[in-house]
């Protein structure tokens, strides 16, 4: 006998997809084949999971809510390639994933940014990600310099991946309906050649410090965040960053050049 469904928990971001067209569009965007392992974060009631299991070689689905387990086991019992794990995605051992894993998720919005950063940290194991996000976050991921949405999330995501805003999704496609708009993004992880964790940590610190005081110039922002003035002066001059520049004016390449100029002081 099928297990009855527990009510959706708002605190866990449980807005379940009910529109088969959107589910098909997400699965098709992931372009899966039998050679692919998929990591799904938050399978919920399994709306997407069944489609992923039909296309991929293996699906690892991590769900935090143990109440959903009996339903998932009942409804997806026929999916021999499903590996269901009950636990917090933030504690998932990403290093155990096979190389070139594909992430597909309708993310819980309350924790989407920490999960996104955890996934970007695990990028060496990943090939591409198809993520449903709050529209506002999706726009920030894809934003270009000199726009209101451009910030830390844009630079750090675009440093790791090519970002495409794929399509928007109406609130009517979920039960319960979310109070915010939703959009699906496609991230293709960039080559990992030359990736050095220590340098990357310094890059991340620099980008965060640059945007820490949006109304100030980049130079003042970095100074307020504890970078020594003489180092700022030398590195910005070397990187060709004008003294009046603000964080949102710099491209990803500008940040890379600036980080390399700071690195020369740190090694
Ligand atoms: N994939 C399903 C769908 O599209 O209908 C459910 C998506 S729902 C927006 C988000 C899911 O993530 C919920 O099932 C929720 O319980 C789960 N979740 C919330 N926080 C989580 C976490 N930290 N780790 C893993 N799953 C989480």
- Ligand 1 contacts (CB < 6 A) are 12-17, 41-45, 47-48, 62-65, 88-90, 106, 108, 111
pLDDT band at 197 (very low <50, low <70, confident <90, very high): confident
Same domain membership, residue 137 and residue 217: no
pTM: 0.95
Statement to judge: residues 224 and 168 lie in one domain: no
Would you say 88 is a known binding-site residue?
yes
Indicate whether 63 and 153 sit together in one domain.
yes
Q: Do 57 and 159 fall within a single domain?
A: yes
Give residue 130's domain range: 2-189
63 annotated binding-site participant:
yes
Can you give the pLDDT at residue 199? 86
Residue 27 has pLDDT above 70, yes or no: yes
Please check if 17 is assigned to a binding site: yes
pLDDT for 190: 95
* ipTM associated with this complex: 0.99
Residues 13 and 59 in one domain: yes
pLDDT, average across residues 24-49: 98
The pLDDT of 179-197, averaged and rounded, is 89
- What is the percent of the chain where pLDDT is above 90? 91
Boundary residue ending a domain (142, 160, 189): 189
User: Do 161 and 116 lie in a common domain?
Assistant: yes
Confirm or deny that 42 is annotated as ligand binding. yes
Query: 107 and 202: one domain?
Result: no
CA dist 202 and 169 (Å) reads: 36
The region of weakest confidence among 14-28, 144-158, 187-201, 225-239 is 187-201
Same domain, 71 and 183: yes
Can you say whether the dihedral through the CA atoms of 54, 58, 63, 68 is positive or negative? positive
Q: In the predicted model, is pLDDT for residue 141 greater than 70?
A: yes
Taking the C-alpha atoms of residue 71 and residue 256, their distance in angstroms, rounded to an integer, is 47
207 CA → ligand 1 middle, Å: 30
Count of Cβ atoms closer than 10 Å to residue 5 Cβ: 13
Contacts 24+ apart (CB under 8 A), 28-32: 29/130, 29/166, 29/184, 29/186, 30/55, 30/102, 30/104, 30/128, 30/130, 32/56, 32/102
On whether both 41 and 80 belong to a single domain, the answer is yes
Structure tokens at 171: 């609130």
Last residue of a domain, one of 137, 172, 189: 189
Question: Tell me, what CATH number does 245's domain have?
Answer: 1.10.8.100
- The one-character DSSP state at 84 is E
Of 128, 154, 189, the position where a domain reaches its end is: 189
Provide the pLDDT for residue 160. 95
In a shared domain, residues 59 and 26 = yes
**C-alpha 41 – ligand 1 centre gap (Å):** 6
In the three-class reduction of DSSP (H, G, I as helix; E, B as strand; rest coil), residue 48 is classed as coil
How many folded domains does the chain comprise? Answer: 2
Which CATH number do you get for residue 136? 3.40.50.150
Atom of ligand 1 nearest to the CA of 89: 24
Residues 242 and 145 in one domain: no
Q: How many angstroms separate the CA atoms of 213 and 58, rounded?
A: 45
What's the rounded mean pLDDT across residues 6-16? 95
Question: What is the arithmetic mean of pLDDT over 108-131?
Answer: 96
pLDDT band at 266 (very low <50, low <70, confident <90, very high): low
54-63 average pLDDT score: 98
Mutational pocket test of ligand 1: of 12, 103, 112, the residue with most ligand atoms within 8 Å of the beta carbon:
12
Query: Could you tell me if 100 and 221 lie in one domain?
Result: no
Smallest CA-to-CA distance from 60 within 43, 83, 92, 35 is with: 83
pLDDT higher than threshold 60 for residue 46: yes
Task: Give the gyration radius of the chain's Cα atoms.
Answer: 21
């Amino acid at each position: 006998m099928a297990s009855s469904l527990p009510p959706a928990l708002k605190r866990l971001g449980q807005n379940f997809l009910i529109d088969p067209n959107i589910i098909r569009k997400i699965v098709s965007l992931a372009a899966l084949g039998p050679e692919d392992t998929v990591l799904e974060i938050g399978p919920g009631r399994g709306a997407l999971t069944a489609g992923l299991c039909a296309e991929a070689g293996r699906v690892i689905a991590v769900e935090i809510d143990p109440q959903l387990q009996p339903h998932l086991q009942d409804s997806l019992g026929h999916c021999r390639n499903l590996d269901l794990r009950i636990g917090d995605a933030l504690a998932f051992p990403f290093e155990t994933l096979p190389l070139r894993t594909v992430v597909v998720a309708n993310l819980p919005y309350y924790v989407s940014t920490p999960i996104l950063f955890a996934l970007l940290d695990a990028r060496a194991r990943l090939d591409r990600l198809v993520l449903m996000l709050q529209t506002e976050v999706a726009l920030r991921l894809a934003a270009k310099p000199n726009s209101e949405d451009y910030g830390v999330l844009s630079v750090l995501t675009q440093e790791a991946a090519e970002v495409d805003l794929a399509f928007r999704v109406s609130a009517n496609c979920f039960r319960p309906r979310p109070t915010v708009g939703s959009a699906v993004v496609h991230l293709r992880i960039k080559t990992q050649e030359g990736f050095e964790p220590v340098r990357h940590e310094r890059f991340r610190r620099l980008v965060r410090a640059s945007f820490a005081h949006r109304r100030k110039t980049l130079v003042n922002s970095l100074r307020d965040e504890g970078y020594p003035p003489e180092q700022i002066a030398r590195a910005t001059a070397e990187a060709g960053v004008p003294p009046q520049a603000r964080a949102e004016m710099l491209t990803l390449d500008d940040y890379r050049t600036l980080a390399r100029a700071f690195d020369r002081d740190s090694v």
